Amino acid sequence: MIKHHSNHVQMKKILSFQIVILAIGLQVFSIACTQQEVVQGPGTVTKKVFGKLPDSSVADIYTLINHSGITLKVTNYGGRITSLIVPDKNGKSDDIVLGFDSLSGYLAANPYFGAIVGRYGNRIAKGKFEIDGNKYTLAQNNGVNQLHGGIKGFDKVIWKAEDFKSEKSVGVKLSYLSHDGEEGYPGNLSAVVSYTLTDDNQLIFDYSATSDKATPINLTQHSYFNLAGKGDNKSHDVMISASKYTVVDSTLIPTGELRDVKGTPFDFTVAKPIGKDLVATGGNPIGYDHNYVLDTKGIKDLAVRVVEPLSGRIMEVYTDQPGVQFYTGNFLDGTITGKYGIVYNQHSGFCFETQHFPDSPNQPTFPSTILKPGETYHTTTIYKFSAK
């Protein structure tokens, strides 16, 4: 009898333990389901690990979803936009930016897919400039010139990231301290870039920075777009509100001349397909890679409009910057395989990099790009998406 009673008590204890475990499991499952509902709905920002860098630092990826059907993915490695999923005129969604499925693609050699570029977007001749009699030599990574900030520019660093949201928008705020002497630039530069995705399908880039020494700065965003989702970009109709462009030499450094676009293959004042005058540009390789001098007077004026006829997708660009670099993916050569197994051939995508002019630190007639101590650099660019 004693043995039987002991077994009975033990069985009750086991049963009670199992009930407790089951209850805990159901609670965890309920919480997980609730979290999943929260993170996957519109008007949300979620974060997860994207991968590790060779130095063991961790890159995260943020997914932003608005209430109008757009999903944006951004990693704090280089502030890169890895995905932008946008509906077409029939409600069918496609990813309209070039990039990679994983961090490893961005760690390998690639043409700045989706990145923040800086300190100085575009080129500085021979990697040299002078401020107040002080001469500076930069890292040279584009022949004898510097391109997009040097060997390890802002596109190849981990930014501190913080997500935010409001009633009608979601976003990510990225911060980075570039130390005095980094890639040859003077001054400790504190940079902040915010990406805001609104419910009316605007993607807003706010850039700001301060420095304790005078330094050139020209931050921009280097996403490659294809509004069809795949294929080449030649059928996209483009309008650029610019009556002049900066003439460049054989190394793509401005000569200082601002030339009228009228009567040239570079005229986009009236919308035309990218492919219409592509060969006539005479570039090597063929295509557009030019800074347009905008006629706009501020952020409210339309700077660029792109229409992809089959999907009906439209991208509009608004900026307070004086120029925009129109680049048609001329150097893509089929050696890179990106997301979804797509091979990126020449002219697979296009960029509109809002900016000050290339080589401005060495061009006294161009608008100044020098940020001085006590000043705050601030600029805003908006990409607006629609379909019809």
Q: How many CB atoms lie within 10 A of CB 81?
A: 24
Structure tokens at 283: 């570039």
Residue type present at position 373: P
The b/e string for 124-133 (b: 16+ C-beta within 10 A; e otherwise) is: bbbbbbebee
Task: From 309, 312, 273, 296, select the one nearest 382 (Cα to Cα).
Answer: 296
Cβ-in-10-Å burial (0-12, 13-18, 19+) of 37 comes to: exposed
Using an 8 Å Cβ cutoff, are 78 and 174 in contact?
no
Residue 4 designated active-site: no
Cα–Cα distance between 337 and 99 in angstroms, integer? 9
Virtual torsion, Cα 330, 82, 324, 233, nearest 10 deg: 40
Catalytic residue among 182, 183, 308, 353: 353
Non-local CB neighbours of 234 within 8 Å, separated by 6+ positions: 273, 274, 275, 278, 347
Measured at the CA of 89, the angle between CA 65 and CA 84, to 5 degrees, comes to 30
Cα–Cα distance between 271 and 376 in angstroms, integer? 36
CA 373 to centroid of chain Cα atoms = 27
Cα–Cα distance between 377 and 85 in angstroms, integer? 31
DSSP string of 127-154, one letter each residue: GEEEETTEEEEPPP-BTTBEETTSTT-G
Residue 353 designated active-site: yes
Catalytic residue among 148, 222, 236, 347: 222
- Alpha carbon distances (Å) from 64 to 67, 85, 272: 10, 10, 33
Task: From 193, 164, 162, 163, select the one nearest 177 (Cα to Cα).
Answer: 193
Residues identified as active-site: 222, 353
